[in-house]
Amino acid sequence: MGMAVVLVPAWLVAPAASPLGMTLSRTFFRLLLIGFGVRWRIYGEPGDPSRTLFVANHVSWVDIPLLGSQLDAGFVAKEEVRRWPGIGKAAARIGTVFVDRRNRLAAHAQASVVRQQLSRQRGMILFPEGTTGDGSTVLPFRSSLFAAAQHGDLDVQPVSIIYRRRDGQALEGEECGRIAWIGDQALLPHAIQLARRGQLLAEIYFEPMLAGGDRKQMARDCEDVIRNRIKGLALPLRRRS
């Protein structure tokens, strides 16, 4: 974790959207994960960040550095993320759109902001569950922000995140609490607990691309793809070295 801190001065000075700024952001996230004892495996190929809405299940605050370490893309995240130590600042610098998920009346405007980011050839990462689960399944996907891709001119890519023991075995019972961050848990105690125990493996599956279109259908399709992956029902994807 100390190496991640060393990067901060250069990272704060570099223009956020520049190649150097994006490289430093990805490196910062990767060193942060290593510091917390999280390793990762990547399966499948991510879409072109300049025209893709990435749609992922949400298990933990770790999801943000995990995907941020792999993609030159901003996030659609709840407003509270902005205040998270370190991660909030990093998320803001890479173009995150912070939304108030409690304000349903603002959903249309928020979708427009996401689309504006995508129109600037900047990928965006969406967690449509709106909150975190325990990783054993997915919660119903909210469709409102899928409206950003409803014109059919952008790609939508489901991204499945699965956390395991370092040896690849499934987490069971209380082990899930090492990574799952649910409800009103405080961030700092959870992060300290993860740093002490660590030894986790994160699997990221970049699933086959879906075409943009009807927002409710996109939400259902993404939810089905990710749920099947978590249940072990999805087709294998080639592991990236």
pLDDT at 226 over 90: yes
pLDDT for 153: 78
Domain ranges of the chain: 2-164+190-234
* Cα-based distances in Å from 223 to 151, 159, 168, 202, 229: 20, 10, 24, 19, 10
pLDDT for 17: 63
Strand partners, 38: 200
Q: Mean pLDDT, the chain, as a whole number?
A: 83
pTM for this entry: 0.88
Each residue of 92-120: pLDDT tens digit? 777 788 877 666 656 677 788 788 777 77
The residue with greater pLDDT, 169 or 1, is 169
What is the arithmetic mean of pLDDT over 132-150? 86
Residue 158: left if φ>0, alpha if ψ -120 to 50, beta else—which one? beta
pLDDT for 12: 57
Strand partners, 239: 43
Q: Which amino acid is at 165?
A: R
pLDDT for 73: 86
Q: What is the DSSP string of 185-210?
A: --HHHHHHHHHHH--EEEEEEEPPPE
CA 36, CA 65: separation in Å to the nearest integer?
A: 11
